[in-house]
Chains A and B, each alone.
Chain A
Amino acid sequence: MGQQLRGRASLWRRTRDRVLASQLWRSVIRHGYPDENRNRILVIISNIFLHLHPARVKRHGVKLRYTWCMGGLSAFLFFVLTVTGVLLMFYYVPDTRRAYQDMKDLEHAVLFGKLMRNMHRWAAHAMVVTVILHMTRVFLTGSYRPPREFNWVIGVGLLVLTLLLSFTGYLLPWDQLAMWAITVGTNMAEATPFLGAAGPFHELLGITKHNDIRFALLGGTIVDQNALLRFYVLHCIALPLIGAVLMAVHFWRVRKDGGISGPHGKLPKL
């Protein structure tokens, strides 16, 4: 009995040692268990996914009452939106004859389609809210001041992208609300100075309704198939891609500018 146990234990130990010593294992798990400071830092900085996060977090960095965690939530919601959005793309065709029906099918016939659509929609609304709250926090804590002024500018760009994603996604269900919301929105664009056919000074650039900013948005002069396709491509490819790049810069700058701003930072007290 005891002999057998010992034999089994030694078999387990021998197998474990062999696996841990194998080249395959060591090529993936390069630094062993992160049980001491050096190892922890090595694990973080040698991993593409983990290195975005600092190896050490300042004590104030986890204080919810200071950061509201709104930046992190915005990033998380962007992730949720990407996952649900990709799943929705499997069922949705940006064709004026099909778009509305596809949305109805997602709601009624696709397994968990309704969940995906609702998650996508609510996360989109929530992301607009969290991005704005994030900005409010950054403003109120004065975190936009040097050395973070460049990151503030990137953040403003991300806010605009968030709003544009929200706007372009609004057309995709192709229902009355979508149709008229985009009609109103693009009519506002038409009133842009210089670039809109109904805006002031448009005649200086020879802008008509066939070459103005509204035409560029809609791919025509009415909300129709071209507009749907344009908004779809912008919503699913162009804007998320630009957003991802800007976010990478944004996170990078957070690290480079001294980590999450905090109450005990180097900033002079107001």
Chain B
Amino acid sequence: MKKKLNKFNKFPFITWLVPVFLLVAWQLLSLWGILSDQILPAPTEVLKAGIALLKTGELIGYIGISAQRAFIGFLIGGIIGFVLGMLNGLSSIAETLFDTSLQMLRNIPHLALIPLVILWFGIEEEAKIFLVALGVLFPIYLNTFHGVKSVDKGLIEAAKVYGLSGFSLFWNVILPAAFPSILVGIRFSLGIMWVTLIVAETISANSGIGYMAMNAREFMRMDIVVLSILLYALLGKISDVFAKVIEKRCLKWHPSYQ
């Protein structure tokens, strides 16, 4: 079974077979007039719109600002989630103090806070970054916490016998042991990061991909709307590939990655 999978991996284009097929089908359906321009413009139209926006520099600017929001929000939320997860995982005092509150907060859909966030920050950058950070925080918190909690006690004991304690125990044993779980949190929160950003930018923004889509809707520019959606798909894929690369590099020791 594994060997068969490896054979497939030698031809990476196979994974792109389905998307390419869908694209071709879409183009043909548009060409034959089965798919109306008002519902879905042809891929070539979308491409043309993209090239036009690229020439004016708008596209790059919007992608840049969206990526920047995503990145900063992810960094802030990720660090807070990681630190809280570590803290609560390592100290039972911190766990009793914070865990219940965090579990309650976690159950509030962070997008439900949009009206509040708009009142707090208006439609400035802080609003989007705040929402992304909040959305990203909980998956990373939960998985870090779980990862630390499930570190093999025997390994910690062995580490102590061999003279590790304090930071060296954390760095050599607890962090690497919890890392697979933390990475699951990171991949999960990368998805949430884009979803949050899309919603936030669509509702309230004056720049970014979501703003571009909403603006295009005002002028009935279906091609640009579709372009924005495809851009999100592409950015989501890129961040997932990025997470996979980290996974491969950092989990070389793990039998499931060998």
Q: Do A and B come from one complex?
A: no
User: B interface vs A, CB < 8 Å?
Assistant: none
User: A interface vs B, CB < 8 Å?
Assistant: none
